A and B are shown apart, each in its own frame.
Chain A
Amino acid sequence: MNARPTTGESVQSGPVSQQRLTLWYILRRWPILPVVLLALLVTMGVGADWIAPNDPVDQSLPDRNARPLFQDDSPYFFGGDHVGRDVLSRVIHGARVSLSVMAVALTAGMLIGTGLGLLAGYAGGIVDEVITRIVDIWMGFPFLLLALVAAIIFGASYSTIMVLMILVAWVSFVRNVRADVLVIKESGYVALAKISGASTTRILARHILPGTIGTITVIASLSVGNLILYEATLSFLGAGIPAPTPSWGNMVAEGRDYLQTAWWTSVIPGTALFLTVMSLNFFGDWLRDRLDPRLRQLG
């Protein structure tokens, strides 16, 4: 969104004139705020054990629904929840959960999706037909609902949600990688590689895959926000990360019942989630406009 159409005044080639280099201009041109927020998020996720001031599951009944520090004298910066756990520490550990689920799902989805996309695009024929149809059908599913059914049967757990997230993540890679491969495989250097006797694996890995990296990066960055949102929604509905482990989704769900007396228990994790998704969307849009403006319609 922060990039403008090509006729806009902010897209200029050539050196930036001195007076335009205001703070506002920099903020609009580079995704500085999102990157700062995301860096903070990653730090929180990776270093949760050292950064969090308290144990995220440690209950303390006297501090039940303790007010945040800026409202009252309180043991916890962002207050305590309904069983006296530190909301700040839970949000920090929740970042770790969101990040780890997202990272695993994205990596696995990316590998599966790219592999199938390469296969469909390069092999063509019946293989292409089958893979494309499966993707079409998959995209027509209301996936959240089927995830609810699956979560009840296999029990809401870390591994269940991981598998479900992978099942969401892979599709968009297939379509776009396939489209790229269809173009690249007609190009002269692939034909030359074929003539000089390169094996199919080598052609795919050395000649075609590098051409799809841009697309893969863009799709990945655009999916991240959705994946995090998905995990949070499932956790919120009680089909994601099970109760004592903090996740932003289940924190909001637990805090919802105490909205009148202790708003911070649900508003703070919810806001963390919102800022994260918004930063990721901003960053993804920026990356897309930089790497591959053709993919614009995906946003």
Chain B
Amino acid sequence: MRRYLIRKLIFAVITLLVATMFVFGLSRMAGDPLLLFAKPGGYGMSPERVEQLSRKLGLDKPLVVQYLVWLGRVLTGDFGDTIVSETSVRKLIWERAAPTMQLAIASFILAMLMGIPLGVVSAVKRGSLSDYASRTLALVGQAAPIFWVSIMAILLFAVTLDWLPVGTAGPDDVSFWTWTKFKYLIMPAFALGWGPAAALLRLTRSAMLEVLDSEYVTLARAKGTSYKIVVWKHAFRNAILQPLTTSAIVLASFVTGAVVVERIFAWPGVGQLMTDAVWNNDFPTLTSTVMVFTAVFVGMNFLADILYGMLNPVIRYD
């Protein structure tokens, strides 16, 4: 178990390091960092000034050293300033983290509440109308692009029916635990949560089918235990392990999903910061947000590995 975890941890760290190298390499391809100092109209920096600046910025050192210096700064949370507003990127990300987390948590709860119960029902009542309905829900959820779901939801609930507001996370001066604020969350959370809910539904369904087919379930039924107890106590407890393990990966998938959802709903989170940076060519902001999201993504996958190792005693620890 310990060897397995250490191994997984090493891989998580390597993955993160490769990602930083990738981003650093790309940022150097984006152009000479010295050009940032060439003010508009003031081109033609003197050779002395160039030399002085590159010594100050460490650009005269080998690329490896530059990378390590940059890495050290990123690790301590110093992401530099944005190009657009010249404020600290770290502060910006910090401000935007809360809305993104709200959205992710809401979607996660929604995905679990939709996926797991429907998966159980669908397996227990196999071939019934509710089975077909659940599977259709899963099928559409897995094929529908997030932005298509979002746009259809906006069209139906905001434009046609006018039930839910759209755009931003609601007024700032209202507490989060009110309906005024909460109704802004419904559509984005649903758009982000449907796909993962579909994945959880399929997993729960197939795990339940397998367990319900096993001998101890038949035995439990044969000795006279009620069907309800067999389903929820005997079968469900065993079938739930795999979907639970996957739930960490579900959270990881929100990283990419949030970028799209926040863009459509103008949700003021880190994802929106990132896509704004794409449109504004704001390189420091883009790389920092990408690094933060990558770290979350890798961390969540690592968490999934830990869960998997803990819950599954037959795993091979090599």
Contacts and interface: CB of A to CB of B under 8 A. Distances in A.
Interface stretch (A52-60, A187-195, A252-260): A252-260
Contacts of A77: none
A288 B296 CA distance: 33
A145 B296 CA distance: 12
Contact of A281 (B12, B143, B154): B143
Contacts of B11: 133, 136-137, 140
Interface in B116-149: 127, 135, 138-140, 142-148
Interface in A134-161: 136-137, 140-142, 144-146, 148-154
Contacts of A153: 26-27, 29-30
Given A146-B290, A152-B278, A278 B255 contact: no
Contacts of B290: 145-146, 148-149
Interface string B262-281: 01100000000011001101
Contact of B145 (A144, A146, A232, A256): A232
A274 B283 contact: no
Interface residues of A, number: 45
A142 B147 contact: no
A141 B19 contact: yes
Given A238-B275, A278-B139, A252 B256 contact: no
B264 A256 contact: yes
Contact of A277 (B30, B145, B152, B264): B145
Given A1-B139, A140-B15, A273 B264 contact: no
A150 B29 CA distance: 10
B278 A256 contact: no
B14 interface: yes
Interface stretch (A11-19, A201-209, A262-270): A262-270
Given A233-B145, A237-B259, A278-B143, A145 B151 contact: no
B159 A273 contact: no
B152 A270 contact: yes
B148 A274 contact: yes
A229 interface: yes
Residue from the set A142, A233, A253, A270 with the largest chain B CB neighbour count within 10 Å: A142
Chain B contact residues (Cβ within 8 angstroms of A): what range? 35 or more
B142 A281 contact: yes
Contacts of A146: 19, 22-23, 290, 294
Given A237-B275, A277-B145, A281-B142, A259 B19 contact: no
Contacts of B264: 256
Contacts of A249: 147
A236 interface: yes
Nearest to A280: B143
Contact of A225 (B135, B143, B255, B298): B143
Nearest to B166: A259
B66 interface: no
A244 interface: no
Contacts of A1: 135, 138-139
Interface in B234-281: 252, 255-256, 259-260, 263-264, 274-275, 278-279, 281
A81 B11 CA distance: 48
Interface of A is mostly: helix
Contact of B278 (A8, A151, A278): A151
A271 interface: yes
B139 A229 contact: no
A191 to B, nearest CB: 27
A260 B159 contact: yes
Contacts of B146: 233
A62 interface: no
A278 B154 CA distance: 21
A5 interface: yes
A154 B89 CA distance: 23
Nearest to B264: A256
A263 B255 contact: no
B209 A252 contact: no
Nearest to B18: A137
Interface in A141-187: 141-142, 144-146, 148-154
Which 3 A-B pairs have CB atoms at the shortest separation, nearest pair first?
A278-B143, A270-B148, A140-B15
Interface of B: 11-12, 14-15, 18-19, 22-23, 26-27, 29-30, 127, 135, 138-140, 142-148, 151-152, 154-155, 159, 202, 209, 213, 252, 255-256, 259-260, 263-264, 274-275, 278-279, 281, 283, 286-287, 290, 293-294, 297-298, 301
24 contacts: A136-B11, A137-B18, A140-B298, A141-B18, A141-B294, A145-B293, A146-B19, A148-B274, A148-B278, A152-B30, A153-B27, A153-B29, A236-B147, A236-B260, A237-B263, A249-B147, A252-B148, A256-B264, A259-B151, A270-B148, A274-B148, A277-B143, A278-B140, A278-B143
Given A145-B256, A271-B148, 19 more contacts: A5-B209, A137-B18, A140-B12, A145-B255, A145-B294, A148-B278, A148-B290, A149-B286, A152-B286, A153-B27, A225-B143, A233-B146, A237-B260, A249-B147, A252-B147, A252-B151, A253-B147, A270-B152, A274-B144
